[in-house]
């Protein structure tokens, strides 16, 4: 089975580098200029500078060529997934599609599995998610991720196909739990970054992370996830990583909010759009998601971090 990665950002490039250790891999860039540059310099200078592309990795801007592969990894930001798939529906049809994005679509409240099902009905799909920074994967550091696929046999095949020497995949059929874990942790990471950036301390971060995890479980279980999935790599594992590392863009965006510093808005920060989607889902489903809702308001600039924390601390007292 052959594999191609569509989307030549940090994550797509890192996955392609790792997979190239096992055999030929095609990486598709929508930008002819970037594809040419990467082919020539053997490096993704924009997203992963200094990390060489192995010989077995070829970069192209020709989607028809890339989509000859049996398995296509879709490594674009969540809010771009539907548009990218619609633009290239004919080329993607009949392939196995593995979404590699973490988020909830803002207008629909849907995750990547449902967006793929709506855009290309009948397509066989899966999700790759879990704690991993692109830089770590590209450097060949040990990483463990979750491969979620509702079809157990396909999940097993993909697990074998996409596991590499340094990237160990665990599988689950709980696609809802896996995608919500990956989406919701980004929102909490923004909150944790803001808390540290504003000098509120590690104890406050531990409280936000833990109560944020309670929110993640509440929404995920309501949507049909298995609670144990949230305890795994794609939930708690990724939450811990993203809430504690400066390598995370979501966390760094939060830090900038807390420090009242500017932040480059062209950076992919999935948690912002997802926070708004979560706030809407909380209203629609009449559940309490106070930290996620506060992060949505914070990222809009409606609140200062101090006001946000005050409003969270002043909520009615309750059982844990």
Ligand X SMILES: O=C(CO)COP(=O)(O)O
Which residues pair with residue 145 across a beta bridge? Answer: 169
Q: How far is the CB of 242 from ligand X (least distance, A)?
A: 5
Q: Assess contact for 164 and 156: CB atoms under 8 A.
A: no
The secondary structure of 125-162 as a DSSP string is EEEEESS--HHHHHTT--EEEEEE-SSHHHHHHHHHHH
Do residues 251 and 190 touch, judged by C-beta distance below 8 A? Answer: yes
User: Distance between CA 189 and CA 192 in Å, rounded?
Assistant: 5
Shortest distance, position 201 Cβ to ligand NAI, whole Å: 27
Closest CA to 81 of 283, 273, 301, 319: 273
What is d(CA 250, CA 227) in angstroms, rounded to the nearest whole number? Answer: 24
Residue span 6-25 as binding mask against ligand NAI, x where in contact by CB under 6 A, dash where not = -xxxxxx-------------
Q: Which of residues 46-65 bind ligand NAI (CB under 6 A)?
A: 47
What SS3 state is found at 116? helix
Active site residue 80: no
Name residues contacting ligand NAI, limited to 79-108 (CB under 6 A).
Answer: 80, 83-84, 100-103
What distance in Å separates the CA atoms of residue 129 and residue 320, rounded to the nearest whole number? Answer: 29
Whether 134 has a binding-site annotation, put simply, is: yes
Q: Does 47 sit near ligand X (CB under 6 A)?
A: no
Q: Is 132 flagged in the annotation as binding? A: yes
Contact 85, 116 (CB under 8 A): yes
Site size for ligand NAI (CB under 6 A)? 24
Q: Which of 58, 137, 270, 296 binds ligand X (CB under 6 A)?
A: 270
Distances (CA, A) of 58 to 32, 33, 53, 75, 142: 13, 14, 9, 16, 24
Q: Annotation-wise, does 252 bind a ligand?
A: no
Q: Is 258 a known ligand-binding residue?
A: no
Tokens of 181: 């874990």
CB of 286 to ligand X, least distance (A): 29
Q: Which stretch binds ligand X (CB under 6 A): 56-64, 202-210, 236-244, 312-320?
A: 236-244
132 binds ligand NAI (CB under 6 A): yes
Give the residue numbers marked as catalytic: 185
Residue list for the binding site: 11, 30, 102, 130, 132, 134, 185, 238, 248-250, 270
Residue list for the binding site for sn-glycerol 3-phosphate: 102, 130, 132, 185, 238, 248-250
Which residues of this protein are in contact with ligand NAI, per CB under 6 A?
7-12, 30, 47, 75-78, 80, 83-84, 100-103, 132-134, 268, 270
């Amino acid at each position: 089975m052959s594999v191609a990665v569509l989307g030549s950002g940090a994550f797509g490039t890192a996955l392609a580098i790792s997979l190239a250790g096992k055999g030929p891999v095609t990486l598709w860039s929508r930008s002819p200029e970037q594809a040419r540059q990467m082919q020539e310099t053997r490096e993704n200078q924009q997203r992963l500078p200094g990390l060489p592309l192995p010989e077995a990795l070829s970069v192209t801007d020709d989607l028809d060529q890339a989509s000859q592969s049996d398995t296509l990894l879709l490594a674009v930001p969540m809010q771009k997934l539907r548009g990218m798939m619609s633009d290239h529906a004919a080329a993607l049809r009949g392939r196995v599609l593995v979404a590699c994005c973490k988020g909830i679509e803002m207008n629909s409240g849907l995750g990547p599995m449902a967006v793929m099902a709506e855009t290309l009905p009948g397509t066989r799909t899966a999700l790759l998610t879990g704690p991993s920074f692109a830089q770590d994967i590209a450097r060949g550091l040990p990483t463990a991720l979750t491969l979620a696929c509702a079809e157990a046999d396909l999940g097993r095949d993909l697990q074998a196909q996409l596991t590499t020497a340094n990237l160990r995949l665990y599988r689950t059929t709980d696609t809802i739990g896996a995608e919500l874990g990956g989406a919701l942790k980004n929102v909490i990471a923004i909150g944790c970054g803001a808390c540290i950036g504003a000098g509120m301390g590690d104890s406050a971060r531990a409280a936000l992370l833990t109560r944020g995890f309670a929110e993640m479980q509440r929404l995920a279980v309501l949507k049909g996830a298995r609670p144990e999935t949230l305890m795994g790599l794609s939930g708690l594992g990724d939450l811990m990583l993203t809430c504690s590392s400066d390598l995370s863009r979501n966390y760094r965006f939060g830090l900038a909010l807390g420090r009242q510093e500017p932040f480059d808005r062209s950076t992919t920060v999935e948690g912002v759009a997802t926070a708004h989607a979560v706030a809407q889902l909380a209203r629609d489903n009449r559940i309490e998601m106070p930290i996620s809702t506060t992060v949505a308001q914070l990222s809009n600039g409606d609140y200062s971090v101090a006001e946000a924390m005050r409003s969270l601390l002043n909520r009615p007292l309750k059982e844990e």
